[in-house]
Amino acid sequence: MPLSAWTWIDSTPEGLVAFVLITPATEASSGLGALAQAAGLESPDRPLPSPGLRLVLHDSYAMVILPRAKTALRIPTDEGWSDFVRRGGAVVVIMGERSLVHDAERTEVESYLLQSLLPGGLWMAKTSLAAAHPPAGVRGEACIVCGRGDGQLDPVGYAYTPTTGAPLGWAVVAHPTCPTEEEQ
Ligand SMILES: [Zn+2]
């Protein structure tokens, strides 16, 4: 499914938060509701859950791994967003049911969010780099998406484990065939 994705940092009552919005890129695509619910995200009228979403950072993109749905979403990021996340900043992942064109401006994204607050329009979850990865995954011995160690495994970026000092990055791998929905 072609996806659209946006990242931004905003101040909230709980401090600065790195947001990700992911939507279908075209009206012909089915919405992300079924995938979001399988992954443990909740609608905005429910308490914000922490369903164990994991993040892998690359220079120009991030993978949001949805372990409960056994899939990953690849989104473009910029340096400021990645730096904030790499330092352990809070992340809120928002998935939308309706499509939004991938080059929508900030004001269009804001009105999309406002118009999607009705039930069934948005699903949300929080996470951070501190979400645990399986040990074989951070050692690069198993696919960071599905957890299996067989077959061809390609480098896909870095997972980070929390440390007391600088975040410690682990080069991680994934099957080229493992389910990864990509931003168009
Ligand atoms: Zn895999």
Please check whether residue 16 is in contact with residue 89, taking contact to mean a CB–CB distance below 8 angstroms: yes
**Rounded distance from Cα 175 to ligand 1 centre (Å):** 4
**Rounded distance from Cα 113 to ligand 1 centre (Å):** 32
User: CA 166: distance to chain centroid?
Assistant: 22
Say if residue 90's pLDDT is above 80.
Answer: yes
Give dist(CA 179, CA 157) in Å, integer: 16
Say if residue 89's pLDDT is above 70.
Answer: yes
Say if residue 27's pLDDT is above 70.
Answer: yes
**Rounded distance from Cα 17 to ligand 1 centre (Å):** 29
**Rounded distance from Cα 149 to ligand 1 centre (Å):** 8
6-20: per-residue pLDDT in tens? Answer: 999 999 998 999 999
The pLDDT score that the predictor gives to residue 181 is 72
The pLDDT score that the predictor gives to residue 164 is 60
Residue 24 Cα distances to 117, 142, 179, angstroms: 17, 29, 16
Model's pTM, two decimal places?
A: 0.90
Residue 118: how many CA atoms within 13 Å on its side-chain side?
5
Output 31 or 38, whichever has higher pLDDT.
Answer: 38
**Rounded distance from Cα 89 to ligand 1 centre (Å):** 27
Say if residue 45's pLDDT is above 60.
Answer: yes
**Rounded distance from Cα 73 to ligand 1 centre (Å):** 13
What's the whole-number mean pLDDT along residues 31-36? 91
Please check whether residue 82 is in contact with residue 157, taking contact to mean a CB–CB distance below 8 angstroms: no
Residue 79 Cα distances to 32, 107, 133, 137, 167, angstroms: 27, 22, 23, 24, 16
126-183: per-residue pLDDT in tens? Answer: 998 877 788 898 889 999 999 999 999 999 999 987 666 666 788 999 998 887 776 6
**Rounded distance from Cα 2 to ligand 1 centre (Å):** 20
**Rounded distance from Cα 180 to ligand 1 centre (Å):** 10
The pLDDT score that the predictor gives to residue 157 is 93
Helix (H, G, I), strand (E, B) or coil at 98: coil
Helix (H, G, I), strand (E, B) or coil at 35: helix
Provide the mean pLDDT of the chain: 90
**Rounded distance from Cα 143 to ligand 1 centre (Å):** 4
What's the whole-number mean pLDDT along residues 77-82? 93
